[in-house]
Amino acid sequence: MKLADFSPASRATLYFMCNVGFSLLVMLAAATGPDGNPRIPYLCLLMAVCSLPILWMRELNGRYVLLTAFLAAYLFFYGAADFSALLAERTTTNSRGILSAAELTVLAGGLLTVLGYRLGLLTRGTRAAARPAHDYPPRLVLAAGLVLWTLGTLGVWIWQVKIQTNAVTMSKEYGSFTLLAAVIARMLQPLGMIMLAYAWVANRSRWLLLLLAGLVCIEVFVGFVGDSKETAMRGVIILIMAVFLLQGRVSRVWLSVLVAFAVLAYPVFQAYRAEVMHMRGISRADAASDVLHSLKLALGARGKMDRKFSSDYNAPDFIGRTSLKPTIELLIAKTGDAAPFQHGYTLWLYFTGFVPRFIWPDKPDSSVGQLMNRQFRVSEDPDTYISATHLGELYWNFGYAGVALGMLCLGAMLGFINARCDLSERRSLTRLLVLVTTVYAAIVRFEGSIALEYIVFTRSLALIWIMHLLFARQPAAGRAAGSETGSQAGGEAAYPPPRPLIHAPQLMR
């Protein structure tokens, strides 16, 4: 039975059963586990909020896919470490009482996102569904994807290995135009990977799958040398998202690769940063010149990784370092006392970020993470980046009012985008590019600073729009049949699947 076949009563029953089962699991873990401060009400309520899409979702990749993805990440960011603390001897957060102020903020933020999303869906017009589909020529998808990925990877390598330091120092040494070119090049890599993933899903050719596997390995290598776990994981995450959005299912192969990376490679990356970068002071350029030696140092230092950041939240490395709950607890506890409210300053950096530094030489540095570290004194090194997260940054600026308005607007934006890029009603590369870019900026990078993430997001959307105007065309078959079937829901039948990228049946499934 498909989700679309469920009645509202059946959906409500399914929602109720999922939450009852999760609550029983949490209480069983709390009863048998060693944690002396189980956050049972918080975890149960967080699950109740994050499972709300069950009540409305009809297709896995339909109108609620962005909300489902956001709430799944939200549940992991703010609940996974508390749940893991029930299963082993690890300390939980500093929360006390039934529900702390930070936990209430997290729950309210999730509910307001759901409300905003539902409001964003109401903006969907009826004429958009009947509009003919425009898509890229199949061969152009492959060629452009390879070009964009190659240029983007080269830009990422130059940025991370050669010139990445402080933004002001970089602008003086390399010039604003060089930095702008590097920033644009870095935007191209994920767009190229999305296009290649679209080509693979449309054609399912084995040689293209092998090509994607090779490109993922290159990204892992670049991420390792450049000390960026995000770069290393980005290719696999994009492939998982592309398969899910286009086909409504999760690729078990790529998901297994991502899990293997989190379990096996993540500690090595942490050891590389601690031993090679910090302890020995080896630059990224020097590490790149002798990768095998750097890898040996990282493997030998796995047991000596710095756990300072997660010392108050003694969870496994991956879960502990991706948990965002300690950050919101810190901000709520100390903002207004140890550090002042920002009153919109960090959000204003989004607008100043579009002004080139050669026009405004004294433009403020947009590194919100360093500002937070210096004001809250999280690390002794003033250049250490400690992310405030999107939710925490909203509170840091305007308190609870910032959380309420900001999360409501975030939900409305996600609903607005999903309503116009519903892949369950019509498949196109432009829709996939917009959805994956949105997932990456607003969901995967929810831990980053609002200004930096949304500057990249806005530039990426502008580039996608320009590419769509230049290259997207309505298929000839769609134009011929559009007048007869254009009024049908989705109009999918009027548009045949893309032609094979190569005329070699033996290489196709």
What is the tens place of the pLDDT at every residue in 64-99? 999 999 999 999 999 998 888 887 766 566 677 789
Q: Which of 36-45, 118-127, 389-398 has the lowest mean pLDDT?
A: 118-127
Q: Could you state, in order of their start, the residue ranges of all structural domains in the chain? A: 138-392+419-477
| Angle formed at CA 231 by CA 76 and CA 442, multiple of 5 degrees | 45
Cβ atoms within 10 Å, residue 175: 13
Report the C-alpha gap between 209 and 216 in whole angstroms: 11
- Give the pLDDT confidence score for residue 303 in this predicted structure: 57
Prediction pTM value: 0.81
Task: Provide the pLDDT confidence category of residue 277 given band limits of 50, 70 and 90.
Answer: confident
pLDDT of residue 282: 78
The tens digit of pLDDT for each residue in 442-498 reads: 998 998 899 989 998 999 999 999 999 988 887 655 444 444 444 333 333 333 444
Instruction: Check pLDDT > 60 for residue 280.
Output: yes
Buried (b) or exposed (e) across 399-409, using 16+ Cβ within 10 A? beebbbebbbb
Where is pLDDT greater, at 498 or 413?
Answer: 413
Query: Can you give the pLDDT at residue 495?
Result: 37
pLDDT of residue 168: 43
Highest mean pLDDT among 86-90, 142-146, 201-205: 142-146
Mean pLDDT of 151-179: 65
Query: For 18-58, how does the pLDDT look when each residue is reduced to its tens digit (9 = 90+)?
Result: 999 999 999 998 888 776 778 899 999 999 999 999 999 88
Tell me what the mean pLDDT of segment 210-223 comes to: 91
Cβ atoms of 345 and 398 within 8 Å: the answer is no
Tell me 496's DSSP state: P
In sequence order, what are the beta bridge partners of 339?
335
Indicate the range of 161-165, 211-215, 237-241, 303-307 predicted with least confidence.
303-307
pLDDT in the model for residue 255: 82
User: What is the pLDDT confidence band of residue 176, given thresholds at 50, 70 and 90?
Assistant: low
Overall size of the chain counted in residues = 509
Q: Which residues, other chains included, contact 266 with Cβ-Cβ below 8 Å and sequence gap of 6+?
A: 229, 317, 318
pLDDT > 80? residue 163: no
- What is the pLDDT averaged over residues 202-209? 86
pLDDT band at residue 16 using 50, 70 and 90 as cut-offs: very high
Confidence class of residue 315 from pLDDT cuts 50, 70 and 90?
very low
Q: How many Å apart are CA 180 and CA 187, to the nearest integer?
A: 11
